[in-house]
Structure 1
Amino acid sequence: MARHVVATVDQIPPGQRLLVQVNGREIGIFNVEGEYFAVGNRCPHEGASLCKGRIVGLVEAAGPGDYRYSRRGELLRCPWHGWEFDLRTGRSWCEPDRTKVRSYELRVESGGALIEGELRAETFQVTIDKEYVVLEI
């Protein structure tokens, strides 16, 4: 599995996203209160640029006038037809067993960890002052 450094954590503030190109794929990287998630930028319904949609939460109701808002910022709504996808799993909120968007594994690693592993290149004495978001495909 190849690893790709796609951003520093300060490039994606909480509640925000960053659209990146990796190996010809458009992938949206989302920061949900310090947790990072990555999904493909193509809605499986009709191919819209999914990652340009609204980031929303979940509204649940036990009955009329009795509603609860949860999972703030964890659902992505397609800008064309409003289909919603769970950023944690990629699954459609309406048809979770049938429809999903491709999701990718992400990790936040310190700059020092990148010097040690498979991304090793010619190195120089440096100081690490940032953390990076690393995508695995």
Structure 2
Amino acid sequence: MRVKVAEPDALSEGGKLIVKVKEMEIGLFRVGGRYYAWRNVCPHAAAPVCLGAVRGTRLPSAVYDYQYGMDNEVLRCPWHGWEFDLKSGRHLAAGSQAKLRGFPVEADDTGVYVVVGDGS
């Protein structure tokens, strides 16, 4: 099922919007000109993860030297600080299998739509 969740220009780059689809809260994010939709439930402790801050992360480039990367591509859970890649939904900790539950997003000149299955 395809559900309209926003008007075409509702989100600017780096923006987010919490929407309700089939009684589920879903966070809609615009990253790199594309839209991503994640269920608003952290896999760690069921926190409302999409209410967290969107920022970048520091990637090690050499001993005691860091550079910023992934600007506006990292969602930080407001309860325990778990960080997720907004493009893939994956937890950023090395070796972690944790991942946000995502939904396909379609956008055109009529709006932004989230696609959810009938059993979702």
User: TM-score scaled by structure 2?
Assistant: 0.88
User: Matches of 1:133 and 1:18 in 2, distance apart?
Assistant: 11
Matched, 1:134 2:119: no
Q: CA deviation at 1:29?
A: 0.2
Q: Spell out the pairing of 1:53-132 with structure 2 (5 A cutoff).
A: 53-94=52-93, 97-111=96-110, 132=111
Q: CA deviation at 1:110?
A: 2.2
**Structure 2 letter corresponding to 1:53:** G
Deviations 1:43-87 (A, max 9, x none): 111111101101011211222442221111111000011001111
**Structure 1 letter corresponding to 2:113:** V
**Structure 2 letter corresponding to 1:89:** S
Q: Spell out the pairing of 1:15-54 with structure 2 (5 A cutoff).
A: 15-54=14-53
Percent identity reads 39
The DSSP-based 3-state class of the residue aligned with 2:47 is: coil
Larger Rg, first or second structure (1 or 2):
1
The DSSP-based 3-state class of the residue aligned with 2:9 is: helix
Structure 2: tracts of 5 or more residues without a match: none
User: Matches of 1:21 and 1:95 in 2, distance apart?
Assistant: 32
How many pairs align? Answer: 116
The DSSP-based 3-state class of the residue aligned with 1:80 is: coil
Q: CA deviation at 1:95?
A: 5.2
Q: 1:33 to 1:98 in 2, by over 3 A?
A: closer
Matched, 1:13 2:12: yes
User: Matches of 2:36 and 2:30 in 1, distance apart?
Assistant: 7
User: Matches of 1:96 and 1:33 in 2, distance apart?
Assistant: 26
Q: 1:96 to 1:64 in 2, by over 3 A?
A: closer
User: Matches of 1:89 and 1:96 in 2, distance apart?
Assistant: 15
Deviations 1:64-116 (A, max 9, x none): 442221111111000011001111111111156521110111121222xxxxx
Structure with greater helix share of residues: 1
User: Matches of 1:41 and 1:75 in 2, distance apart?
Assistant: 15
